[in-house]
Structure 1
Amino acid sequence: MIEAKIAERRLVYTVTIPIRWGDMDAMGHVNNTVYFRYMEQARIEWLNMMGCLVDEQGNGPVIVNAYCTFKKPLKYPGQVEVCTYIGATGRSSVETIQEMRSVEDGYTLYAEGGAKLVWVNASTEKSMPLPDVIRQKLAELKPEGRRKRVVV
C-alpha cells in the first residue's frame, strides 16, 4: 500500500521540529505516540498555510485513518525533519504521506507514515466534497512540490 502512495505523491511541506526531553520514553528513545504528534504538527501547519483548516461553518478535515512504520528510534537531543506529501485526491478525501528524518544523522529516514483526510460537514457529521478552492489549490501543486524549511 505504501508503494502505491509513494508513486503518486507530491512534496507540499517540510518542517524541522526539535526533539524534546519529554518526548522520550523509559527506553530512552522517542515514544511511538510522539511520532504521530510530529506528523500532526506538520500536517496542521501545511493545512493552515494553505488556508484549508476549518471554514466559517465548521466544515473541515477529519482523519479517518493514520499509520506509522518505525525504522529507527529517534533520540534526544536532536531534530526531526518531517516531509509532508500528498497522494491521491478523491471526491471528499486526500491522502497525506510523511517521512521523518534525523537532521543529525544525515537526514536518514527514521519513520514513515501518513493519514487519510476526509472533509466533513460539521452539521451532518458526514463527508462532503472537497471545497472547490481546496481542490484547486491541490491541483496547482507542482509534481515535485515545493520544499519549504521551517524551524519551530
Structure 2
Amino acid sequence: METKRKLILTSHIPIRWGDMDAYGHVNNTVYFRYMEQARCEWLEQLGYTVGPVGEGPVIVNASCTFLLPLTYPGTVEVKLFAGHPGRSSIPTHYELRLVGDDTLYATGESKVVWIDTGSGKSAPIPESLRASLQDL
C-alpha cells in the first residue's frame, strides 16, 4: 500500500564547490543539508521559526538513498512531500534532482515532531500547520 503524499515545496539550491568530497561528488552529509534547507523554507513560509522558547519542530529520524552522484556545478531541485500528520508528527519525503534534469539522484525521508522546547516533550501540531496538510 503506497502512502499518500502531498507536494508542499520545491526548492532550488546551488551546489557549492565546497559541497564536494575527495571523490569529486557531493558529500553524502550535504544531501541532508539540502533536505533540511527545503524543510526550513517550508516551515518559514508558514510563519514558523525555530527558537529556544515555545514550541517548534525537531527531526527524530532521517534517511537518504543515494542513487546517482551530484557534482559541481549545478543546482539541486528538492521536492518536499508531506504525509498524513499524526498528533505531533509529520512524515516527510524528498526527491533530489538537478534543475532541468528529470533524473532522480536521491530520495530521503524524515519525521518532523512538534515539541515543547521547555520540556523537550512532543506537543500537538499547530492547527494552522495541520490545516495546510488537510488534503492528506
Give the TM-score of the pair, scaled to structure 2.
0.92
Give the TM-score of the pair, scaled to structure 1.
0.83
- Rounded to whole Å, the distance in 1 between the matches of 2:4 and 2:76 is 24
Structure-2 residue corresponding to 1:126: 121
Pair 1:28-2:24 in alignment: yes
Residue 84 of structure 2 contacts residue 133 of structure 2 at CA under 8 Å; is this kept in 1?
no
CA RMSD after TM alignment: 1.8
Structure-2 residue corresponding to 1:59: 55
- Rounded to whole Å, the distance in 1 between the matches of 2:17 and 2:48 is 32
Residue 79 of structure 1 contacts residue 102 of structure 1 at CA under 8 Å; is this kept in 2?
yes
Alignment of structure 1 residues 31-46 onto 2, 5 Å: 31-46=27-42
Pair 1:112-2:87 in alignment: no
Residue 81 of structure 1 contacts residue 107 of structure 1 at CA under 8 Å; is this kept in 2?
no
Residue 91 of structure 2 contacts residue 109 of structure 2 at CA under 8 Å; is this kept in 1?
yes
SS in 2 for 1:89: coil
Residue identity opposite 2:45 in structure 1: M
Structure-2 residue corresponding to 1:148: none
Residue 52 of structure 1 contacts residue 134 of structure 1 at CA under 8 Å; is this kept in 2?
no
Structure 1: 5+ residue stretches without partners: 144-152
Question: What's the CA shift for 1:56?
Answer: 9.1
Structure-2 residue corresponding to 1:96: 92
Seen in structure 2, the aligned counterparts of structure 1 residues 47 and 20 have a Cα distance that, compared at 3 Å, is same
- Rounded to whole Å, the distance in 2 between the matches of 1:125 and 1:117 is 14
Paired residue total: 136
Q: Percent identity of the aligned residues?
A: 56
